[in-house]
């Protein structure tokens, strides 16, 4: 099936799966349509009438603009605005400033219909089979029907190392830096026993047949920039604590067995991260995370952090101090 322009006769894909973006883009740029909609030139004897004036009318008002709306290039305008922001190191919220929006509504009246703000989120993860890192940047906005929409702006491969310094995306990640050395042996142990099918088979056999744990959970290696994956790694590793000890006597190459002190630290860290994980699960389970849902969770997190400052474990205290510093940077104005 083909869709044909009523003005220039050019054909385009018209199947239902083709959607309408290419048709709308053509309508904006169709030279025949622009030519047909242009007013007749003013007489040479009337210099004051030489400039083109176009009218946009609706049920209530008439708006007169010195520019032709059909000639407006949205893609080029975005590039120009992005260039201004980059050149002058302006905040991304520059496009939300009242003065800027007033200017744009004068330059292009059609822009006055845009009322929704756009929120930008990033997410990064490491594939379990390839051990490669990926990042996605997503824009979220509310359309005129009050429906929450999202569009992926960029999806890229991110080379190693995937450190918290390289991707400071979470104030919780800052806290994990303070305990990184304490749980490193747990991470190395998990990495060792998940590095090959043979080692995985030996680990599961020791857990199920010899120690009779009968646990269906598999070891999972965390991503250092994602605190929730660290929680899941510790949660499962603590279940198999005795398995790691048993395997130390069966494999001379295994050199990463945590000490009892390190296991206890892992348990305390896991215990403190569990409320965050539970809150995050609840928060991310809804498609519409409005303020009435997430603000009480943020308050509960703040109260938990304050309580942990009195912990008898110095590592936990250092972790909480780092988390509170970043928490204050992003949330203190909202908490007042």
Q: Which whole number is the average pLDDT over 53-80?
A: 54
Instruction: Read off the pLDDT band of 16 (50, 70, 90).
Output: low
Predicted structure pTM score:
0.55
pLDDT confidence of residue 175: 62
Backbone angles phi, psi at 125, to 5 degrees: -150, 165
Instruction: Read off the pLDDT band of 65 (50, 70, 90).
Output: very low
Q: How far apart are the C-alpha atoms of 284 and 57, rounded to whole Å?
A: 44
Enumerate residues 6+ apart whose C-beta is below 8 A from 144: none
CA distances from 82 to 4, 28, 89 (A): 34, 22, 10
Looking at per-residue pLDDT, the higher value among 47 and 201 belongs to 201
Instruction: Read off the pLDDT band of 55 (50, 70, 90).
Output: very low
- Segment of 11-20, 105-114, 276-285, 292-301 carrying the highest mean pLDDT: 292-301
pLDDT surpassing 90 at residue 233: yes
Looking at per-residue pLDDT, the higher value among 46 and 193 belongs to 193
Instruction: Read off the pLDDT band of 236 (50, 70, 90).
Output: very high
pLDDT surpassing 50 at residue 44: no
Looking at per-residue pLDDT, the higher value among 253 and 183 belongs to 253
SS3 string of the chain? CEEECCCCCCEEECCHHHCCHHHHHHHHHCHHHHHHHCCCCCCCCCHHHCCCCEEEECCCCEEEECCCHHHCCHHHHHHHHHHHHHHCCCCHHHHHCHHHHHHHHHHCHHHHHCCCCCEEEEEEEECCCCCCEEEEEEEEEECCCCCEEEEEEEEEEECCCCCCCCCCCCHHHHHHHCCCCCCHHHHHHHHHHCCCHHHHHHHHHHHHHHCCCCCCCCCCCCCCCCHHHHHHHHHHHHHCHHHHHHHHCCCCCCCCCCCHHHHHHHHHHHHHHHHHHHHHHHHHCCCCCCHHHHHHHHHHHHHHHHHHCCCCCHHHHHHHHHHHHHHHHHHHHHHC
Instruction: Read off the pLDDT band of 6 (50, 70, 90).
Output: confident
Q: Average model confidence (pLDDT) for the chain?
A: 76
- Taking only the tens place, the pLDDT of each residue in 168-181 is 445 656 666 666 66
Looking at per-residue pLDDT, the higher value among 123 and 61 belongs to 123
Instruction: Read off the pLDDT band of 110 (50, 70, 90).
Output: low
Domain boundaries, the chain: 1-35, 53-115, 119-158, 171-335
Tokens of 82: 């992005």
pLDDT surpassing 50 at residue 52: no
Q: How far apart are the C-alpha atoms of 90 and 106, rounded to whole Å?
A: 22
Looking at per-residue pLDDT, the higher value among 11 and 113 belongs to 11
- Taking only the tens place, the pLDDT of each residue in 322-334 is 788 878 877 766 5
Looking at per-residue pLDDT, the higher value among 267 and 50 belongs to 267
pLDDT surpassing 90 at residue 190: yes
Q: Degrees (nearest 5) of the Cα angle 316, 184, 158?
A: 105
Instruction: Read off the pLDDT band of 63 (50, 70, 90).
Output: very low
- Taking only the tens place, the pLDDT of each residue in 241-294 is 999 999 998 898 999 999 998 898 889 888 888 888 877 777 666 666 677 777
Note whether 70 and 25 are within 8 A (CB).
Answer: no
pLDDT surpassing 60 at residue 70: no
- The fraction of the chain above a pLDDT of 70, given in percent, is 73
**Number of residues in the chain:** 336
């Amino acid at each position: 099936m083909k869709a044909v322009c009523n003005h220039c006769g050019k054909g385009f894909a018209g199947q239902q799966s083709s959607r309408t973006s290419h048709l709308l883009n053509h309508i904006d740029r169709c030279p025949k349509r622009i030519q047909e909609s242009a007013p007749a030139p003013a007489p040479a004897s009337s210099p004051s009438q030489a400039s083109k004036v176009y009218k946009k009318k609706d049920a209530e008002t008439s708006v007169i603009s010195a520019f032709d709306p059909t000639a407006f290039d949205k893609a080029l305008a975005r590039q120009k605005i992005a260039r201004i922001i980059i050149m002058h190191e302006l905040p991304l919220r520059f496009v939300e400033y009242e003065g800027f929006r007033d200017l744009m509504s004068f330059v292009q009246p059609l822009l006055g219909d845009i009322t929704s703000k756009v929120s930008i989120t990033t997410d990064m993860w490491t594939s379990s089979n390839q051990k490669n890192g990926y990042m996605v940047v997503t824009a979220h906005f509310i359309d005129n029907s009050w429906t929450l929409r999202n569009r992926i702006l960029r999806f890229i491969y991110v080379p190693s190392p995937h450190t918290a310094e390289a991707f400071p995306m979470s104030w919780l990640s800052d806290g994990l830096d303070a305990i990184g050395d304490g749980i490193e042996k747990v991470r190395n142990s998990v990495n060792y026993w998940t590095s090959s099918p043979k080692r995985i088979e030996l680990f599961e056999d020791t857990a199920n047949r010899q120690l009779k744990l009968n646990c269906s959970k598999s070891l999972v290696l965390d991503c250092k920039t994602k605190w929730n994956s660290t929680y899941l790694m510790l949660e499962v590793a603590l279940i198999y604590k005795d398995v790691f000890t048993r395997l130390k006597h069966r494999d001379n190459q295994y050199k990463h067995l945590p000490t009892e002190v390190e296991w206890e630290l892992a348990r305390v860290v896991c215990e403190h991260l569990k409320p965050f994980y539970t809150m995050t699960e609840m928060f991310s389970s809804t498609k519409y995370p409005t303020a009435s849902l997430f603000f009480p969770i943020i308050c509960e997190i703040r109260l938990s952090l304050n309580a942990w400052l009195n912990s008898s474990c110095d590592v936990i205290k250092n972790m909480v101090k780092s988390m509170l510093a970043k928490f204050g940077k992003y949330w203190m104005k909202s908490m007042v």
